[in-house]
Amino acid sequence: MGVVSIFFVMGCATTSVKSVWKDPEFHRRSLTKTVVIGVHKKATLRRTFEDLFVEEFKKRGIEAEVSYRLFPDDLQQSKEQMMQTLAAEGVDSVLVTRLVDKKTLETYVPGSATYMRQPTVDLYGYYSTVYAYEYQPGYTIQQDVAVLETNVYLTLNEKLVWSGNSETLINGSVNDRLVKNVVKSLSNEFFKNMKPRK
């Protein structure tokens, strides 16, 4: 397992988790300390993602660490170097998120007709009305969609124990609120129906 880059392209985002796989034997008691990896060519985005995901772990009573404190932004870690660092820190699991696809979604909005009732001012209009007709033509909306894959591995045997695929609608530039939307959706799905630590 290596450090995987996640190229966030999330702007005005709505995130939905499309599929999830979980090892039947995996539950919250399996986690003691987790490192969150979300490498990005922009250090600020990587740090925002990792900080927010670590907060979600800690809210649920699980110790977690951001990878940017363990692995310098300008250092390419080999597998051996990374595993040695994780072992020295007492890490037993790693969460990695990466971009696996980017596609364009086209949605057609059909045209619509509007009838505006307008009373007349003559005698006949006292008994009838005139209807003005207005038509709005249809149009197509294009939105980019980022497909993200989030995996959780145990460091002891590098075993995959949880995997989820999510899609995020893109429109605009990235900000902390939008990254938080993605993290919230992923973390809620990750912890859903997991047995708590005793």
Return the domain boundaries, the chain: 15-100+143-191
CATH architecture, domain 15-100+143-191: 2-Layer Sandwich (3.30)
d(CA 66, CA 96): 11
Higher local confidence (pLDDT), 142 or 18: 18
pLDDT at 1: 41
Residue 8 Cα distances to 16, 40, 53, angstroms? 15, 7, 15
d(CA 196, CA 198): 6
d(CA 135, CA 143): 25
Judge contact between 19 and 176, C-beta under 8 A.
Answer: no
Radius of gyration of the chain (CA): 25
pLDDT at 3: 42
pLDDT at 193: 61
5-34: per-residue pLDDT in tens?
Answer: 444 444 445 888 889 999 988 876 778 899
DSSP E strands, 26-159: 33-37, 63-66, 93-109, 112-119, 129-136, 139-154
Residue 171, pLDDT above cutoff 50:
yes
What size, in residues, is the chain? 198
What pairing do the DSSP bridges indicate for beta strands 93-109 and 129-136?
Answer: unpaired
27-57: per-residue pLDDT in tens?
Answer: 767 788 999 998 677 788 889 999 999 999 9
